[in-house]
A and B are shown apart, each in its own frame.
Chain A
Amino acid sequence: KNQVEQSPQSLIILEGKNCTLQCNYTVSPFSNLRWYKQDTGRGPVSLTIMTFSENTKSNGRYTATLDADTKQSSLHITASQLSDSASYICVVILNTGGFKTIFGAGTRLFVKA
């Protein structure tokens, strides 16, 4: 069964600290993986895309990694800010033609001053 699991479910960190969010997937055939950020009361917005051949990609203070062998991805946030408080959702896109996606349940991040 195609599944995307994220951990932790929620996380509280102090402003300025780093954190890492995890995404494990059992999805086949794999096309690419995206991380989305969802602010409270808003729709999700794509942060980064990882294709099969990419290991690391950065977007400002956000760095995503992908290990296609172990089927794991992580999202590392450096020097967290209060505005990083949000849900982070891992989404895997299948390579089946069309547009089939599998969503993780998300990690809820709280950044405290």
Chain B
Amino acid sequence: DAGITQSPRYKITETGRQVTLMCHQTWSHSYMFWYRQDLGHGLRLIYYSAAADITDKGEVPDGYVVSRSKTENFPLTLESATRSQTSVYFCASGLPNTGELFFGEGSRLTVL
């Protein structure tokens, strides 16, 4: 099915462990984004990518790593998870000419 999918939808991990959240889109949008959403903060940009092999930091990049070897995939890795990274993570892809973002369903991460 066309769209943007995230996995896993739910993840519980422990402090210090590495976690990777996956994001896949079928539209071939050039831009892809990772956001985190916490109560009281709204959506905050972690990293974004303008094209394959091009990534850049957003507002809150510390503790996160991204890669984009293929246009359709944009995984987000927490190399050593901390409790402050407990959040809901949203992946999005977008069309720069219209500014519309298409969001995935979110990945709820709990770090114990």
Interface of A with B (CB < 8 Å)? 31-32, 34, 36, 41-46, 49, 89, 91, 93, 98-99, 101, 103-106
Contact = CB atoms under 8 A, between A and B. Distances in A.
Interface in B82-106: 90, 92, 94, 96, 98-101, 103-106
Contacts of A42: 105-106
B9 to A, nearest CB: 10
Interface of B: 31, 40-45, 48, 50, 90, 92, 94, 96, 98-101, 103-106
Give chain A's interface secondary structure class. Answer: strand
Given A42-B106, A43-B90, A103-B43, 9 more contacts: A31-B99, A34-B100, A43-B106, A44-B101, A45-B103, A98-B50, A99-B96, A101-B45, A103-B42
Max count, chain B CB within 10 A of own CB: residue among A31, A44, A45, A98: A44
B28 to A, nearest CB: 15
Give chain B's interface secondary structure class. Answer: strand
B108 to A, nearest CB: 9
Given A41-B106, A43-B90, A98-B50, A105 B41 contact: yes
B85 to A, nearest CB: 19
B71 to A, nearest CB: 15
Nearest to B99: A93
Ranked nearest first, the 10 interchain pairs of A and B with the lowest CB-CB distance are: A43-B103, A93-B99, A105-B42, A99-B96, A99-B31, A103-B43, A44-B103, A46-B100, A103-B42, A32-B99
A99 B42 contact: no
B22 to A, nearest CB: 15
Nearest to A97: B96
Contacts of B103: 43-45
Contacts of B41: 105
